[in-house]
Amino acid sequence: MNPNKALWEKGDFTRIAETMRESGEALVQRLGITEGLKVLDLGCGDGTTALPAAKLGAQVLGVDIARNLVEAGNKRAAEQGLTNCTFQEGDASNLQQFGDRAFDLVVSIFGAIFAPKPFEVAKEMVRVTRPGGRIVMGNWIPNDPTLVAQILKISSSYTPPPPEGFVSPMTWGIESNVIERFAGAGVAAEKISFARDTFTFNFPGPPSALVDEFRKYYGPTMNAFEAAEKNGRDAELQKELEELFNTQNKSPSKDATSIPATFLRVTVAL
């Protein structure tokens, strides 16, 4: 089994996605979506950005490597009566099922960054976008002081080093890497713009309960806990993550969690 696929089919990412809906919707509102725009959402999960784009009238195709998330996305679209939003399985590093220039807008919010072979990912995103179209990526930033980079930093000290040749998804959060990867796809640096943006994780329970959600349902955190358990260090990992989530929580209520996380928004105008 492809380890990238196995990682995301593990657990149930929909539980984490539930905490990201407001920010997903707000981000899509800023993308200039118009009626009939052909949108590809890569690494779409269960549709945090795909569904709001369809609600704005776009023709949306969500592609994700995880079968369970594709099923969850199609179910959510059907429940919301969206006939202009469908989900299918696919790999961001090989979009051979799509012709050249097939989409007006390719969106990938914390999605394609997880595919191995980042140069292939950039090439494929460029190939399937029409001239005059756009690519918008949301990429977590390595060593950023906010939530996601810090979860990764803490988790990595409990897990064995990644296999030789592994390219961290976080490298997509470094502007020079983004420029280099799109240059490999023939895109000039002037066509790429960068902005810092924020996604807020909102959860109707205390921070420790949100840590539990990550521990039970988020593949990368599940793996970190499995590795920590082997060394009898799982309580230590739980404590470090609870401290992190508590420190970063901005909710005025002790029984709710609201944690903003900074990301790099990349726009490529083709």
Angle between helical axes of 219-230 and 234-248 (0-180°, round to 10): 140
Q: In whole angstroms, what is the distance from residue 235 CA to residue 266 CA? A: 37
Q: Tell me how far CA of residue 1 lies from CA of 8, 9, 46, 65, in angstroms.
A: 12, 11, 21, 12
- Residue (127 or 233) nearer to ligand SAM, CB: 127
Task: Name the residue nearer to ligand SAM (CB basis): 92 or 211.
Answer: 92
Gap between the Cα atoms of 31 and 88, Å rounded: 23
- Rule CB under 6 A: say whether 66 interacts with ligand SAM: yes
Q: Which of 39, 65, 152, 264 forms a contact with ligand SAM (CB under 6 A)? A: 65
**How many positions of this chain bind ligand SAM (CB under 6 A)?**
24
Q: Tell me which of 28, 31, 53, 69 binds ligand SAM, using CB under 6 A.
A: 69
Interaction between residue 115 and ligand SAM (CB under 6 A): yes
**Does 91 engage in binding with ligand SAM (CB under 6 A)?**
yes
The residue range among 59-67, 72-80, 174-182, 185-193 that interacts with ligand SAM, by the rule CB under 6 A, is: 59-67
- C-beta of residue 58 within 8 angstroms of C-beta of residue 36: yes
Q: Other C-beta atoms within 10 Å of 36: how many?
A: 10
Closest to ligand SAM by CB, 42 or 135: 42
Q: State the burial class of residue 99 (Cβ atoms within 10 Å of its Cβ: 0-12, 13-18, 19+).
A: exposed
List residues near ligand SAM by CB under 6 A.
4, 8, 13, 17, 20, 24, 42-45, 48-49, 64-66, 69, 91-93, 109-111, 114-115
